[in-house]
Structure 1
């Protein structure tokens, strides 16, 4: 179960520093893995690449802020690049998202839980 704790710690790190450049090597180090192993394991467990997870989480958080000044904080160099990425993910522009009644897609933060089930078999001795 230790690996799940390490993965959870790496997700905490990602979430804490979403507004800063993230190096995959540093994230993997938190989980005591090589970059290659971490990325493979991350994809196998989540079905999404590490880079895609970070990108979608940044867009989700930036969408919650909905201001160009905040979007720059999440790794978009220009308001135009944010607008394109935002529109691709949500299907509408940030200005449309501000309209009352609009809903946005969200990419929720990951968390890991494990459930182990077992079956007890009766031993039959003769």
Structure 2
């Protein structure tokens, strides 16, 4: 790859990860407010949180990945998002569970690849 293509590749991947992280942070804050006002049970919150993470990745890939190499850019963006969200939620939640890490990775990667494949078919 030439220099401008590498820069574009990294920029789109980083933008995807950061956009997804910002969206999920806003979503988690809104979810916390809704849980407080409507007394949502503690067993529902982790499920809604995972759905929110998947939607964040879908929106990040759909809005930030352009041109060619859709799948590779999406995978790199999803991994960037996964690392950033792991660090953020580990600091906030304080927990470290291998099962949760694997689930977060799958919830980040699978929607990103699906949206990238759909975008590549349309292009």
TM exceeds 0.5? no
Provide TM-score, normalisation by structure 2. Answer: 0.32
Q: Which has the higher contact order (CA 8 A, sep 6+)?
A: 2
Report which of the two has the higher share of helix.
Answer: 2
Larger radius of gyration: 1
Provide TM-score, normalisation by structure 1. Answer: 0.31
